[in-house]
Amino acid sequence: MRISSVVRKWSAGVALLALLASGVGIAAVMIFGSGGASNQASRATTPRTTLAPRLPASNQASRATTPRTTLAPRLPKVPTPFEFTVNVVVTDRQCAPESPTCTYKYTIEPKYIGLHPLPQTPVTVFYEVIGGNTPQKGEFTVHNDQARILKDVVLEGSPASQLKANVLQVAG
């Protein structure tokens, strides 16, 4: 059974039209249909310790007309070790020629990634820097969203050491 060339041309045209329409539809959904994504983007850029996200001006008008249940504010509590990340920044490296070890100076950059506010009382975070010859323990204190840290801490390691910090415990 042979299909005529006219039917083949019409079938190809319909297929191309369907392909074009689906591409336009997907683009329209990505551009106009992602109203919730702007809300998520504004939440992602606000600090984690704020209680209520800021809404864009376009959403404030709809917020005034739409009744919404209010969530109870999150209460401050002592965070867990998983709610802190500690980045290690090497500020200096001294390697003697043909020596198997180098002397590193580093500073930590702590970051709170928890979802609830920090307590009003000071919180002490205990961490361990690994990657040197021996693990080195340290701690910093957080009070009123400010961390008190030591800078240019000395550690010995191999010339190819990659320093990394693990949070061990949080006490408050």
Better-scored residue on pLDDT, 100 or 43: 100
| Token code pair at residue 73 | 């504010």
Number of H helices, E strands in the chain: 3, 7
Question: Quick one: pLDDT at residue 126?
Answer: 97
The model's pTM: 0.57
Better-scored residue on pLDDT, 9 or 43: 9
Distances (CA, A) of 102 to 91, 97, 129, 131, 157: 13, 10, 16, 12, 5
pLDDT class for 76, splitting at 50, 70, 90?
confident
